[in-house]
Amino acid sequence: MNTDEKMMEALKSRHSVRSYKNQMLSQNDKASLEQMVAQCNKESGLHVQLVCDEPKAFDCFMAHYGKFSGVTNYIALVGKKAPDLDEKCGYWGQKLVLEAQAMGLNTCWVAMSYKKIPGAFRVDSDEKLTVVIALGYGATTGVQHKSKTASEVSNIQPDSPAWFKSAVDAALLAPTAMNQQKFCLTLDGTAVKAKALTGPYSKLDLGIVKYCFEIGAGSQSFSWA
């Protein structure tokens, strides 16, 4: 199985999980995650950080209200303040999410249902924390949510190329805030325009969607407009 096939399989099987087993990450899994985070930072210029064995962030009212339990590991998506920071964190965060899924871990994007714990991770003065990703060994594997159709999020037509149909289908599997799927994908020749519509965290969602779209497109050569 090549990398694209591996990521597509992870995308199809991955669902948001809020409840985790009381089980520490294995040394191998922790080492693999740290290596992936380091590579992500090298390629993206972000300051993503893996936080392990830290139970306080999800031991608060908002976390309990959000039905989170057993979360002691998470990824903090941090980067230099910039107009495209949310989208960049979405893109690279989703890459980490799917790599974790392929390892047998479960994840959940978390925007508000946690508490910032001093010293758990670093945010420099010119940086911003966007969101965190809870991860670990899930007590469940999550459930599939209702999705929009391809025609509701793109200009897909019956004669659209097969790669575009596959890519839009992959984009529809992307997790988005409150399952809102507030994005639009437009194909023009070999260029694709991805637009975030009005909605909470829609720019972050757009980055997630774009990464999923690229997986679905496979080896097809196209450019983002």
Asked if the model's pLDDT at residue 224 lies above 70, the reply is yes
- Band (pLDDT 50/70/90 cuts) for residue 3 is confident
Q: Which residues contact 27 (CB under 8 A, 6 or more apart)?
A: none
All domains of the chain, ordered by start, with CATH? 3-136 (3.40.109.10), 150-218 (3.40.109.30)
Cα four-point dihedral sign 31, 32, 33, 35 = positive
Buried b (16+ CB within 10 A) or exposed e, 136-151: bbbeeebeeeeeeebe
CA distance 186 to 213: 12
pTM of the complete model? 0.96
- Exposed / middle / buried, residue 91 (Cβ in 10 Å: 0-12, 13-18, 19+): buried
Residues, the chain? 225
Which pLDDT does position 10 carry in this prediction? 97
DSSP 8-state code for residue 63: H
Residue appearing with tokens 């390892």: 103
Q: To which H or E segment does residue 7 belong?
A: helix 3-13
- Tens digits of per-residue pLDDT, 140-159? 998 888 899 999 999 999 99
> pLDDT tens digits for 155-195?
999 999 999 999 999 999 999 998 999 999 999 999 999 99
**pLDDT for residue 4 is more than 80:** no
Average model confidence (pLDDT) for the chain?
A: 95
pLDDT in tens, 89-104: 999 999 999 999 999 9
**pLDDT of res. 147:** 95
Which pLDDT band, with edges at 50, 70 and 90, does 1 fall under? low
For the chain, what percent of residues have pLDDT higher than 70?
100
